[in-house]
């Protein structure tokens, strides 16, 4: 285990690295305009990131062992169905999460 | 009602899924850190200064393994370098955010990015204070979750496993909302495809950076010149 004093040095170092990754694009383009290619592409980035993050949330599922992600996929289908139907974000998110937690206990 | 509480009131409802998600994944983080042998106050200190879910979980593992500082810094860089992609699409949106801007940049997590790009700013509040309130509330939930886990994690009799599905559902809902607005499936499907390929080829630990980088490269190649 890292001694506490070393951990206390490491934490601000990690914080600075994380801040640097967040600030990098803003510093890079603070005094000049982003290249045109970025202007065309930037509005497509949020839906692309959202697609990546939805798959990322499913990354730890053991597909080859029971219940093979059935709970997650069924709940995600419920969220999608609810949201297309009722268009109420709270209902879709918490309805889907409640459904997932119920499925979890039955599939365990 | 002054403008700050107005913005907080407008922001709170959209952050509720993050409240549940961050409490649910903040508690195990605080508990793990204390179980690894560190004092309880290190959990909120890390959550205030670092404010990165995956980064903090990995830090606990690196501390437990007594990894050298150089390894810790390099791993942190690799895990968080995806934030660059987020910032690239927020340069215009953050341009007129004034005094909120440094904090908005500092507090840019996956979930806050999803809300900032996916939720419409109400007409009654200024965009900057609406964005700032979302970021501040999300940060507060994360600090609270890690603090609860560090102080009381051992005494919580029920498992929070499963509640963090609220974050998966949040991403899915924001994705559907974006598709409704743009009527353009391509970027979302591209993101899902790249993430799936990355997951299969390089596994769950390293997939995020590869997925985002490859999807961004393909976006530039295929959409870089369109109107």
* Of A75, A41, A40, A34, nearest in space to A58 by CA: A75
* Whether residues A51 and A96 fall in one domain: yes
Domain annotation covers residue A93:
yes
What predicted TM-score, i.e. pTM, was given to this entire model?
0.87
Closest Cα of chain A to B115: distance in Å?
A: 10
* Whether residues A57 and A99 fall in one domain: yes
- Give yes or no for B197 touching A (CB within 8 A): no
**Local confidence pLDDT in tens for the 227 residues of chain B:** 567 788 999 999 999 999 999 998 899 899 989 989 999 999 999 999 999 988 999 899 889 888 899 989 988 998 898 899 999 999 989 988 999 999 999 999 999 999 999 998 999 999 999 999 999 999 999 999 999 999 998 888 777 778 889 889 989 998 999 899 889 999 999 999 999 999 999 998 888 889 999 999 999 999 877 64
- Using an 8 Å Cβ cutoff, are A88 and B177 in contact? no
- pLDDT of the residue at B199: 95
pLDDT confidence bin for A31, thresholds 50/70/90:
confident
CB nearest A57 (choices: B72, B82, B167): B167
Domain annotation covers residue A100:
yes
- pLDDT of the residue at B126: 92
DSSP state of B125: S
* Whether residues A51 and A16 fall in one domain: no
Q: Is the pLDDT of residue A90 over 60?
A: yes
Domain annotation covers residue A37:
no
- pLDDT of the residue at B223: 86
Rg (CA), chain A: 21
Domain annotation covers residue A38:
no
Domain annotation covers residue A40:
no
* Whether residues A27 and A62 fall in one domain: no
- Using an 8 Å Cβ cutoff, are B178 and B118 in contact? yes
Q: Give CA angle at B35 (B32, B37), nearest 5°.
A: 120
Selected residue with higher pLDDT from B103 and A87: B103
Best of B71, B88, B106, B169 to disrupt the A interface by mutation (most A CBs within 10 Å)? B169
What total number of domains does chain A contain? Answer: 2
* Whether residues A25 and A66 fall in one domain: no
Best of B163, B173, B206, B219 to disrupt the A interface by mutation (most A CBs within 10 Å)? B173
- Give yes or no for B218 touching A (CB within 8 A): no
- Give yes or no for A56 touching B (CB within 8 A): yes
Q: Please report residues of A whose CB lies closer than 8 A to that of B16.
A: 90
* Whether residues A94 and A54 fall in one domain: yes
Report the alpha-carbon distance of residue B23 to residue A64 in Å, rounded. Answer: 30
* Whether residues A50 and A27 fall in one domain: no
Domain annotation covers residue A75:
yes
- pLDDT of the residue at B2: 63
Domain annotation covers residue A55:
yes
- pLDDT of the residue at A32: 85
* Whether residues A52 and A80 fall in one domain: yes
* Whether residues A103 and A50 fall in one domain: yes
Domain limits at A87? 46-107
* Whether residues A17 and A59 fall in one domain: no
Domain annotation covers residue A67:
yes
- pLDDT of the residue at A67: 86
Closest Cα of chain B to A55: distance in Å?
A: 6
* Whether residues A25 and A51 fall in one domain: no
* Whether residues A51 and A92 fall in one domain: yes
A45–B17: do the CB atoms touch at under 8 Å?
no
């Amino acid at each position: 285990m890292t001694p506490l004093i070393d951990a206390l040095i490491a934490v601000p170092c990690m914080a600075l690295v994380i801040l640097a990754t967040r600030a990098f694009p803003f510093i890079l383009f603070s005094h000049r305009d982003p290249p045109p290619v970025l202007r065309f592409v930037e509005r497509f980035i949020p839906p692309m990131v959202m697609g990546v993050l939805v798959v990322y949330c499913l990354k730890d599922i053991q597909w080859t062992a029971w219940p093979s992600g059935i709970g997650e996929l069924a709940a995600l289908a419920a969220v999608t169905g609810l949201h297309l139907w009722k268009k109420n974000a709270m209902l879709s998110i918490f309805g889907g999460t409640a459904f997932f937690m119920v499925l979890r206990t039955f599939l365990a | 009602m002054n403008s700050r509480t107005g913005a907080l009131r407008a922001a709170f409802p959209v952050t509720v899924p993050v409240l549940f998600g961050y409490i649910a994944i903040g508690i195990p983080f605080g508990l793990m850190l204390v179980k690894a042998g560190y004092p309880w106050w290190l959990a909120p200190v890390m959550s205030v200064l670092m404010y990165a879910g995956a980064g903090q979980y990995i830090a606990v593992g690196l501390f437990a393994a007594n990894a050298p500082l150089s390894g810790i810094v390099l791993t942190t860089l690799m895990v968080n370098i995806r934030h660059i992609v987020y910032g690239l699409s927020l340069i215009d949106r953050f341009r007129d955010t004034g005094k909120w801007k440094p904090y908005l940049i500092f507090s840019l997590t996956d979930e806050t990015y999803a809300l900032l790009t996916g939720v419409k700013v109400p007409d009654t509040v200024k965009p900057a204070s609406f964005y700032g309130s979302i970021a501040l509330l999300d940060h507060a939930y994360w600090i609270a979750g890690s603090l609860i886990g560090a102080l009381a994690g051992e005494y919580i009799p029920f498992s929070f496993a499963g509640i963090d599905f609220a974050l998966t559902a949040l991403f899915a809902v924001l994705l559907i909302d974006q598709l409704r607005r743009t009527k353009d499936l391509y970027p979302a499907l591209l993101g899902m495809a790249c993430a799936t390929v990355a997951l299969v080829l390089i596994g769950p630990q390293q997939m995020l950076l590869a997925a985002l980088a490859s999807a961004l490269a393909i976006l530039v190649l295929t959409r870089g010149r369109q109107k």
